[in-house]
Structure 1
Amino acid sequence: MSSLVEVARAAGVSVSTASRVLTGSSHPISAKTRARVIAVAEQLGYSPSALARALVSRNSRLLGVLVSDIVNPYFSVIARGVDDVASRAGYVTMLSNVDRRTATEINRVQTMRDYRAAGMIFAGSGYIDDPQAPELAKAVRQAQEQGIKVVSLTVRELGCPTITADSRTAAYDITDHLVSLGHRRIAFIEGPAGMIASQQRRDGFLACMRDADLAETAECHPGGFDYEAGHAATMRLIARPPLPDAILAANDEAAVGALSALRQAGIDVPGQISVAGMDDFRVAQFVGLTTVSLPLYEMGAMAARHIIDAPPGADNATTTVLSHRVIPRETTAWRSTGSTHP
């Protein structure tokens, strides 16, 4: 396939003139010159790139998804929902890892502006009292003024539509399930410190324990959203007996880490202690983990549909909350209130 330079040389015009003709620019060019450039391009088999067309038309079919951790299955499920909808509509999905850094998010917003993206989806949570939050909100506003549609999948002050699940209520409901099984001493392994999503899940756990008159037996332990964090937190619990009746981790990966630590220590799950998580990743199904299923795929799919279908200037204040459900599996069992652990 020939290059733009070769087309321009064969047509006897400048590269800029050839580019204007082949990308549909409204710049005034004579009909004769336009026809000659098109004929040469067809003869040489030249086709302008999608990016080149986007830079001229100020529009593209690129949809950017900003994720906190590209290897976390939470985001892979969301990304699949986005891409399934986007690809059917002729859009291309670009996944961008921001490592839970607001500065990186600001940089990625500028990148999406440079690429004339059709839309951006913020899939990850922000931080409580983030000093860079106003700068990020300003960058988002500038992108919107350029015509880029923006959607957030967590509650953040970004001035854009939000499509999310209620993490606080989900944590409340999975805790309530553990309480309904007779568990009274429940340990909660928290998510990453300072994150809004971590705080929401911790708040839901504590609210349920208060409502069940179990606030005095509620335990919160530092952790994270990965296997290693759940494993380390549980090893610390094992080293300081007695064990709680149940462990609830802030997500499934950390819960699997907790499950692994207990089994390595020869502690029977769920005979001696129950374990539960949140999100319902595929790994939860493989190990029989009790969890609460969040509509991650649906969140991604709905966000993509909004970007593709919503009219320009749509209400940016809307919040859509999708439902969740508790999924009981083999890692939890009923326990009488009088039970004790060695």
Structure 2
Amino acid sequence: MASLKDVSKAAGVSPSTVSRVITGSRPVDEETRERVLEAIRTLDYRPNLLARGLRNKSRKSIGLMVPSILHETFANFIYFVEEACVSHGFTMLLGNTQADAEAEERVLKNFIGMSVDGVIVSQVSDESAVVKSLNRLGIPVVGIDRAPDDEEADRVVVFNREAGEIAARYLYSMGHRQVACIGGPETVSLSRERLDGFRSFLTEKGIEVHHVSGPDFEFETGIAMVRKLLGQGCEFSAIWAHSDLLAIGAMQELARLGMRIPEDVSIMGMDGIQLGEMVRPTLTTIRQPFREICQHAVRLLLERIEHGHARPTRIVVRPELIVRDSVCHR
């Protein structure tokens, strides 16, 4: 097994420089940093931070990385992860990656420098290297929501394909045969899974799905995507959006154009955030069980912190249809 000295020799730097790259404790110029990381990858160096005594000097802290602290979906994850951490005597440290790969890397470096005991992460995109980096450094990690489809990582996810099937089945049962879908970023696997479940069910019924994908899951994007659907000349009696905020944005734009919800166009969301109960009409949606997801994630992470290496676990939780007032019979 490669040692820190092996890495320093291969990279042509001192052992202390290798340590600074790994921990992020001090700045290292980009060329040197890349050389050290390349040596780490080539030698498959896996520093065991627990073996350095961090386990015995545990700070009882867990880092949580989310793409946005303003989006109510992630606010739910923040609330329930902290709730679960506190119940186990741990403190949660929050990192807002702002749905940006560079910001994600900065947050990761900060967490490493703070010597967190472990990290729970919702990735910026499928291209994120956070989980692989943490695994390489020997820091326990669990993925949630935008979790990696990676056999090397613990993860807790919603059955997103089933969420799409539930939405499609419900709209079909309500008589809708002209259907549109407003998806999230195609670089995020859950968007593709939700669309696949939605489209597969309706395709079997002979129904074409008009689909547009936005750059995020935000309210403003819901407005923009409705405009795009209409600009393409799509005809639809119902829309399923991949987040409640997308759905509420779509509702507002349709109402601005003089369309009635649900009499003219029915709308469904995804997530089950509280805002869906506040709008009029109240939003029919597919609920994610946020507390259950977060409890599983914290439990998995604490087990990984306590017992170290074990086979990665994947927990899939079931979404739930919440029927309100934004969908009617066609």
Question: TM-score category by the smaller chain?
Answer: 0.7 to 0.9
Q: Distance in 2 between matches of 1:124 and 1:69?
A: 11
Partner of 2:318 in structure 1?
323
Alpha-carbon distance, 1:119 to partner: 1.4
Partners of 2:151 and 2:98 in 1: how far apart? 18
Secondary structure of 1:276's aligned partner:
strand
Please, what TM-score do these two structures have when normalized by structure 1? 0.73
114-123 vs 313-322, which deviates more?
Answer: 313-322
Report the structure number with the largest CA radius of gyration. Answer: 1
Q: 1:284 to 1:260 in 2, by over 3 A?
A: same
How many residues in Structure 1 have an aligned counterpart in Structure 2?
Answer: 272
The answer (yes or no) to whether the contact 2:122–2:147 under 8 Å persists in 1 is no
Counterparts of 1:71-90 in structure 2, within 5 Å, are 71-90=70-89
The structural deviation recorded for 1:226 is 0.5
Partner of 2:327: helix, strand, or coil?
Answer: coil
User: 1:106 touches 1:139 (CA, 8 Å); kept in 2?
Assistant: no
Q: Which residue of 2 aligns with 1:295?
A: 289
Structure 1: segments with no counterpart, 5+ residues: 1-53, 336-342
User: Which of the residues 168, 171, 183 maps onto 2:176?
Assistant: 183
The residue correspondences of 1:90-129 to structure 2 (distance < 5 A) are 90-124=89-123, 126-127=125-126
C-alpha change, 1:199 and 1:162, in structure 2 (3 Å) is same
1:211-239, CA deviations, whole angstroms, 9 ceiling, x for partnerless residues? 2221xx21011323011111111133345
The AA in structure 2 aligned to 1:307 is: L
Please state how far the C-alpha of 1:256 moved relative to its aligned partner.
0.1
Question: CA–CA distance in 1 between the matches of 2:312 and 2:56?
Answer: 28
For structure 2, the residue ranges without an aligned partner over 5 or more in a row are 1-52
Pairing 1:195-234 to 2, within 5 Å after superposition: 195-214=188-207, 217-223=208-214, 224-234=216-226
RMSD of aligned Cα (Å): 2.2
Residue 77 of structure 1 deviates from its aligned partner by: 0.6
Aligned-pair identity (%): 25
> What's the offset of the Cα at 1:178?
0.5
TM-score normalised per structure 2: 0.76
Match of 2:266 among 255, 274, 280: 274
Contact 1:125 1:196 in 2 (8 A): no
Cα distance in 1 between the residues matched to 2:131 and 2:62 = 19
Query: Aligned pair in 2 of structure 1 residues 89, 155: CA closer, same or farther (>3 Å)?
Result: closer
What SS is found at the alignment partner of 1:278?
Answer: strand
Cα distance in structure 2, aligned partners of 1:312 and 1:273: 53
Structure 2 counterpart of 1:79, one-letter code: I
